[in-house]
Structure 1
Amino acid sequence: MITASELTKRYGDKTVVSDLTFTVRPGTVTGFLGPNGAGKSTTMRMILGLDAPTHGTATVGDRAYADHRAPLHEVGALLEARSVHPGRTAHHHLVALALTHGIPRSRVDHVLDLTGLTDVAGQRVKGFSLGMGQRLGIAAALLGDPATVILDEPVNGLDPEGVLWIRNLLKSLAAEGRTVFVSSHLMSEMALTAEHLIIIGRGRLLADTTVDTFVRESGAGTVKVVTPEAGLLAQLLAAPHVDVTSTTPGTLEVHGTDAEHIGRTAAAHNIPLFELTPHAASLEAAFMDLTRDSLEYAAHLEPA
C-alpha cells in the first residue's frame, strides 16, 4: 500500500505539489492522471525517496522507501527507462541489480522472458529501441518480485502488441494482490486498465475515485434531443454551464444537464420530443472537463 499524507514540494517560490493526501490500495490498478506539469513525476519521486518533501510524508508498506532494507523486494519502479549504462547488455544490467539484493539469477531469466527480451538479452542497451528500453525498465521493476509496482508512463514507445501486453500484465499483478500505481497520458488505455483513479492538477488533488464513478458523475456527457421545437427548447435550457449545440435542424446536443431535466422542461412547455438519448462521457472527456482549469500548458488552435 502507498500512502501520501499532506505531501508538499516547493522549489523556491514555486509549489509543485501541494498538500496531497491519498492512499493506493493493493489488489487494483490505480491510474495516476494529470495534465503536463501537474506534479505526477515529482510525487512519484517523493514516494521513492528521490526527492525530499518540503512537508508531509510518503510511505510504501507503512514505511518510507529508504527504510526498506531490500527495496527491490518491496517496491519495483520505472521512472526513466533509459537510465541504464548503454554499454551493458540487458542481461548484465539485470544481473548487476540482482546481485545488490541477493536476488537469484533465475529471476533474471524469468523477467527477461516475461517482458519478451530473452532473444535480445545479450545485446547492448545502446542499440535498444524506445519500446525495448521500456520493457527492460519494467523487467528491472519486477526483478525483486515486489508487492508494490510504480510505473511512470510504461506504454511509451510500445507497439500495439506491447500496449496489450502491459495492460494484461498490470491487471495480472493487481489480481495477485499487489499494489499497482501507474501514470499515463493515454486516457483510452487507462479506461481499459485502471479501476481506480487519482487525478491531480497544479499539484493538488482533484479526484480520488473509481473509473466508473468518475465517468458516470462527470458533467462531460451529452444528451441528444430530437424535437420540432429545437429553437424554443434550446432557449429554455439556457443556463450557466449548460451548452446546447445543433448541427442538424431539429436536433440538439446538450452538455451540462441530464435527460430528466430536459424531459421535464419540454413537458412543462408542451414541447414534443421524438428522441431523448443520453450519451455517457468517455474517460478522456471526463478528464478534460475536470482539468480544463488546471492546464499549465494550454494550446490554442487558430481558426481555419
Structure 2
Amino acid sequence: MIRAENLTKRYGNRTVVQDLGFTVRPGAVTGFLGPNGAGKSTTLRMILGLDAPTRGRATVAGRPYAAHPAPLTQVGALLEARSVHPGRTARHHLTALAHTHGIPRSRVDRVLSLAGLTEVADRRVKGFSLGMGQRLGIAAALLGDPAAVILDEPVNGLDPEGVLWIRTLLRSLAAEGRTVLVSSHLMSEMALTADHLIVIGRGRLLADTTVEELVRSAGGATVKVVTPEPDRLRSLLPSARFTEETPGTLLVSGPGAPEIGRTAAAHGVPLHELTPQAPSLEQAFMDLTRDSVEYQAEHQGAAA
C-alpha cells in the first residue's frame, strides 16, 4: 500500500504540491492523472524519497521508502527510462542493480525475458530505441519482485504490441495482489487498464474514484443525430447545444434521445440516426481539469 498524507512541496514561493492525500491499495491498477504541471512527477519523487516534502509524509507499506532495508523489493519504479549508462549492456545494468540489493542473478534473466529483451540483452544501451529503453526501465522496476510498482508514462515509445504487453502486465501484477500506480497522459489506455483513478491539478487532489464513477459524474452525454434537415431540428430545440460533425450529422448536448425523437416526430423532421453517446474518460478528465491546465492553447479562430 502507498499512502500520501498532507503531502506538500514548495520551491521558494512556489507551491507545487498542496496538502495532497490519497491511498493506493493493492490488487488494483491505479491511474495517476493530471495535466502538465499538476505535480505528478514531484509527488512520485516524494513517494520514492528523491525529494523531501515540505510538509506531510509519503509511505510505502507503512514506512518511508528510504527506511526499508531492501527498498527494491518493496517498490519497483520507472521515472526516467534513459537514466542508464549508455556504455553498459542491458544485462550488465540489471546485474549491477541486482548485486547492490542481494538479488540473485537468475532474476536478471527472468526480467529480461519478461520484458522481451533476451535477444538484445548483451547490446549496449546507447543503441536502444526509445521503446527498448522503456522495456529495460520496466525490467529494472520488476527486478526485486516488488510488492508495489510505480511507473511514470510506461507506454512512451512503445509500439502497439508493446502497449498491449504493458496493459496485460499491469493487470497481471494487480491480480497477484501487488500495488500498482501508473502515471499517464493517455486517457484511452487508462480507460482500458485502470481500476481506480487519482486525479490532481495544480498540486491538489481533484478526484479519487473509479473510472466508471468519474465518467458517470462528468455527465455531458451527447446524442448523435443524422438528419437531412439539421436547420429545422436546431430551430425546434433552442436550448440544445449543437456540434456539426459533417453536413447533416449533429452531436446534440442537453436534451436526451427520447426528447429529440419526440420533437422530430411531432414536426415531421426525418431522422436517419439517433444514438446516445456516452462521455469518454478523456472528456471527463478534460472537464475535471479544465481550470487546472497550466497552458491553454488557442483553438479555432486564431489568426493565420
Aligned mates of 2:220, 2:191 — CA distance in 1: 15
Is it true that 1:189 corresponds to 2:189 in the alignment?
Answer: yes
Q: Residues 281 and 105 of structure 1: is their aligned pair in 2 closer, same or farther, counting only changes over 3 Å? A: same
Aligned mates of 1:206, 1:85 — CA distance in 2: 38
TM-score, normalised by the number of residues in structure 1:
0.89
Q: Corresponding residue for 2:17?
A: 17
Paired residues, number: 295
**Maintained 8 Å contact 2:261/2:274:** no
Q: Residues 22 and 234 of structure 1: is their aligned pair in 2 closer, same or farther, counting only changes over 3 Å? A: same
**Paired letter, 1:259:** G
Which residues of structure 1 form unaligned runs of 5+?
none
Map 1:231-242 to 2 at 5 A.
231-235=234-238, 237=239
SS in 2 for 1:66: helix
Q: How much does 1:233 deviate? A: 3.9
**Paired letter, 2:159:** D
**Maintained 8 Å contact 2:148/2:180:** yes
Aligned mates of 1:67, 1:291 — CA distance in 2: 35
CA deviation digits over 1:195-214, x for unaligned, max 9?
Answer: 11111111111111111111
**Paired letter, 2:276:** P
Q: Corresponding residue for 1:288?
A: 286
Q: Corresponding residue for 2:131?
A: 131
Does 106-115 or 274-283 show the bigger shift?
274-283
Q: Corresponding residue for 2:296?
A: 298
Aligned mates of 1:247, 1:91 — CA distance in 2: 52
Aligned mates of 1:272, 1:5 — CA distance in 2: 60
Q: Corresponding residue for 1:5?
A: 5
Q: How much does 1:127 deviate? A: 1.4
**Maintained 8 Å contact 1:95/1:108:** yes
Q: How much does 1:292 deviate? A: 1.7
CA deviation digits over 1:40-71, x for unaligned, max 9?
Answer: 10110010010111111111111110111100
Q: Taking every aligned residue pair, what percent have the same amino acid on both sides? A: 74
Q: Corresponding residue for 1:263?
A: 259
Aligned mates of 2:135, 2:303 — CA distance in 1: 41
SS in 2 for 1:216: helix
Aligned mates of 1:244, 1:215 — CA distance in 2: 21
Q: Corresponding residue for 1:89?
A: 89
Q: Corresponding residue for 1:206?
A: 206
Q: Residues 303 and 259 of structure 1: is their aligned pair in 2 closer, same or farther, counting only changes over 3 Å? A: farther
Which residues of structure 2 form unaligned runs of 5+?
none
Q: Corresponding residue for 1:175?
A: 175
**Paired letter, 1:166:** I
**Paired letter, 1:254:** V
Aligned mates of 1:150, 1:272 — CA distance in 2: 57
**Maintained 8 Å contact 1:220/1:289:** no
Q: How much does 1:254 deviate? A: 2.8
**Paired letter, 2:259:** G
Q: Residues 3 and 250 of structure 1: is their aligned pair in 2 closer, same or farther, counting only changes over 3 Å? A: same
Q: Corresponding residue for 2:145?
A: 145
**Maintained 8 Å contact 1:219/1:289:** no
**Paired letter, 1:291:** T
Q: How much does 1:171 deviate? A: 0.6
Aligned mates of 1:252, 1:297 — CA distance in 2: 30
Q: Residues 55 and 272 of structure 1: is their aligned pair in 2 closer, same or farther, counting only changes over 3 Å? A: farther
Aligned mates of 1:246, 1:164 — CA distance in 2: 34
SS in 2 for 1:38: coil
**Maintained 8 Å contact 1:26/1:179:** yes
SS in 2 for 1:81: coil
Superposed CA RMSD in Å reads 2.3
TM-score, normalised by the number of residues in structure 2:
0.89
Map 1:89-108 to 2 at 5 A.
89-108=89-108
